[in-house]
């Protein structure tokens, strides 16, 4: 864990948002399924995971923002 994740979680609580933990080892199909089922609009992610989320983003109509921390 990194301090950025705790800050992100705290901000989501302040705005009454729901945090959905995502496992970085998910394949693209599973990741897209989870993002779509939970209707996630914003993802906080590490720089090393940007490529994966950029690949999956077109499959997720609710996803509007990728925030790299």
Q: Give the side-chain half-sphere CA count within 13 A for 10.
A: 5
At which residue do the structure tokens 């199909």 appear?
29
Confidence (pTM): 0.84
- Fill in the DSSP letter of residue 17: P
Distance CA 3, CA 9 (A): 10
Q: What is the pLDDT of residues 13-57, one digit of tens each?
A: 999 988 888 888 999 999 999 999 999 999 999 999 999 999 999
Look at residue 30 in the predicted model and tell me its pLDDT. 96
**pLDDT-based confidence at 2, cuts 50/70/90?**
confident
Look at residue 24 in the predicted model and tell me its pLDDT. 84
């Amino acid at each position: 864990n990194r301090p950025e994740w705790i800050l992100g979680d705290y901000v989501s609580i302040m705005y009454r948002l729901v945090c959905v933990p995502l496992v970085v080892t998910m394949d693209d199909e599973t990741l897209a399924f989870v993002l779509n089922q939970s209707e996630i609009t914003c993802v906080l992610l590490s720089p090393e995971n940007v490529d994966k989320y950029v690949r999956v983003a077109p499959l997720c109509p609710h996803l509007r923002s990728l925030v790299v921390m």
